[in-house]
Amino acid sequence: MGIKRVSVYGLCSLVMLCVAFSAHTLMAETPSPSPTPGQTQQATQAVEQGNAEHHAAIPQYFTTKPPFTEGIFPCSTCHATMKPDRTRRELQFHTEIDLQHATKQRWCLDCHDADNRDRLKLANGDEVTFEESYLLCGQCHGNVFRDWKIGIHGKRIGLWNSDKPGDKQYFLCVSCHSPHSPKFKPLKPLPVPLKPKAITETKGTSTVDIEGKKIYIPVYSK
Amino acid sequence: MKRRDFLKGATSVAVALGLEGIALPAKDAKASVWEEFFQKYFREMNQAEKDAVVKRLEADYKKRFGKDIKVSTKGPLPNVLYGYGLDLSRCIGCRRCVYACVTENNLSRNPQIEYITVLRFKNGEKWVDDLEEAEKYYNPEVVPEPEHFYMPVQCQQCERPACTKVCPTKATWKEPDGIVVVDYNWCIGCRYCMAACPYGARKFNWGAPTIPVEQINPNTHYLGNRPKHKGCVEKCTFCIQRVRENPGRYPACVEICPVGARKFGNLLDEKSEIRMLIETKRVFRLKESLNTNPKFYYFFSL
């Protein structure tokens, strides 16, 4: 029984390995095989509608714009004239990007599409727009993606009881997490509240400017 | 001194003091002062009477702040029971919610009134049973601090609120949409409700509230964020001025939270995010043993 199970597992993993390897060779060596007419039609449709259409229950109009660094998008402005170099290496440009996101297993072209620089690339090779980057994140972070779709993870602002486009905004993953270094950055806390005892020890208020907002804090007489 | 004489004297002194204690408006007081003095209980007013009160309040606020402030008396939306979720796995204790609430709800800056208190606990420490040991006055350079977690506490909008039961004037009650509100003009400032509330959610105006004119929020509700006066109790109303509109905005604390830890929705709508999280996450309510039945759900997403 035990030996049988081991052999079944072995066979399975061998098959998977072959498939993975062959796919890899295919992508690396040969240009993608010419698609059948049906496939082409499907592909263009997908790009036009956005891939979110294929993933049910994602309210597309909820999402906010991705927070690009100024002047960086569209990427094709620079990349159109450059020949894609698919070898994994230290970049000479984009040095400000500090990749802290499974660094050892990953590099740029695992998520960015080499052939269309203004798109991202899913693991299955599908292109997605930067507005739909949640599909890319959701490939690994499935639990979080599921929570995000129903509103438990992430942030929504706007009108709570309206689902009309534009009434509610649903923050993208990348609105809060830098995709290259996704850990949420620590913040300075806002001022400490007044101790009840100290109510007689204050003589007015002063203001502090925090993130462009004026916050009134008590001034102690002592 | 005979006992009888002593009692006589004591009674007359008490009567004199008592009369003095009642602050009747002076003879030359303006009409609005008398109107305020004789204002009816909010729940017993008809719409015309409410409109008259709103008109008086708006005129008073115009004089006090030099700004047009709108006071709404909008009633509850049908088939809505508000519920709130707070993700303790995400909260980083940054207090952004505290100050967004202060601005939205026209809270007094001096003396300071804040509806939300963020508590800090050390990992592994005893916590939900005894909030007394929580740290309210933490002030590190950055949050979150390692080995600590944070729990913001505000009005839990109980289904069986202890605060409304003890109010001698019934100036505070639970609305049909589940929000516990205060008629600030009916409140006599006895603070029984503050003693009864197990969550420390109610705040008292010990002095005349000061609100900076440039930060005043002109969209107010009679039972919510209209400017208050000295001697009344107030509390979080889930931003009644926002959430009772149709369509209405999320509460201010939900919109400001940088980590998206705060969730809000209709408990009667099974597709709402609040229902989803109650069904799929590990949820608890604060001090459940007291049977207050809060509509404020703390949960863990991790």
What ipTM was reported for this prediction?
Answer: 0.87
Q: pLDDT band for A165, please (50, 70, 90 cuts).
A: confident
pLDDT at A41 over 60: no
Number of domains in chain B: 1
Q: What average pLDDT does this structure show over B278-296? A: 95
Report B:47-66 residues touching A (Cβ under 8 A). none
Q: What average pLDDT does this structure show over B169-198? A: 97
Instruction: Say if A161 is an interface residue toward chain B (CB within 8 Å).
Output: yes
Q: Spell B19-37 as b/e; 16+ CB within 10 A means b.
A: eeeeeeeeeeeeeeeebbe
Position B92 in a domain? yes
pLDDT at B97 over 80: yes
pLDDT at A11 over 90: no
> Dihedral (C-alpha) A45, A49, A54, A55: value to the nearest 10 degrees?
160
Could you tell me the CA-to-CA distances from A150 to A81, A144, A175 in Å, in that order?
42, 10, 18
Q: Is A191 exposed, middle or buried (0-12, 13-18, 19+ CB in 10 A)?
A: middle
Q: Identify the weakest region by mean pLDDT among A3-17, B48-62, B201-215.
A: A3-17
Give SS3 for A21.
helix
Give the CATH number of the domain where residue B124 resides.
3.30.70.20
> Which structural domain range is residue B95 located in?
74-302
Position B43 in a domain? no
pLDDT tens digits, B26-77: 776 778 888 899 999 999 999 999 999 999 999 999 999 999 999 999 999 9
Task: Determine the pLDDT at residue A24.
Answer: 40
Position B32 in a domain? no
State whether A171 and B95 contact (CB < 8 Å): no
- Chain A residues within 8 A of B273 when measuring between CB atoms: 150-152, 156
Higher per-residue pLDDT: B158 or A53: B158
Higher per-residue pLDDT: B54 or A202: B54
Task: Determine the pLDDT at residue B26.
Answer: 75
Position B6 in a domain? no
State whether B95 and A199 contact (CB < 8 Å): no
Which of B112, B243, B260 is nearest residue A194 as measured by Cβ atoms?
B112
> Which pTM value belongs to this model?
0.83
A172, A185, A190, best to mutate vs chain B, most B CBs in 10 Å: A190
Position B241 in a domain? yes
Could you tell me the CA-to-CA distances from A33 to A23, A25, A27, A39, A40 in Å, in that order?
12, 13, 10, 11, 12
Most confident of A64-73, A82-91, A92-101, B204-213: B204-213
Mean pLDDT for chain B overall:
92
Instruction: Say if B74 is an interface residue toward chain A (CB within 8 Å).
Output: no
Task: Determine the pLDDT at residue A29.
Answer: 38
pLDDT tens digits, B116-140: 999 999 998 888 877 878 999 999 9
CA distance B268 to chain A (A): 12
Position B4 in a domain? no
Position B293 in a domain? yes
Distance CA B237, CA B224 (A): 6
Report B:202-231 residues touching A (Cβ under 8 A). 206, 210, 212, 214-215
Task: Determine the pLDDT at residue B10.
Answer: 60
Task: Determine the pLDDT at residue A9.
Answer: 53
pLDDT at A32 over 50: no
Position B22 in a domain? no
pLDDT at A36 over 60: no
Task: Determine the pLDDT at residue A35.
Answer: 42
State whether A192 and B138 contact (CB < 8 Å): yes
Distance CA B239, CA B104 (A): 8
% of residues, chain B, pLDDT over 90: 84
- Chain A residues within 8 A of B148 when measuring between CB atoms: none
Residue type, B165: K
Give SS3 for B117.
strand
Mean pLDDT for chain A overall:
79
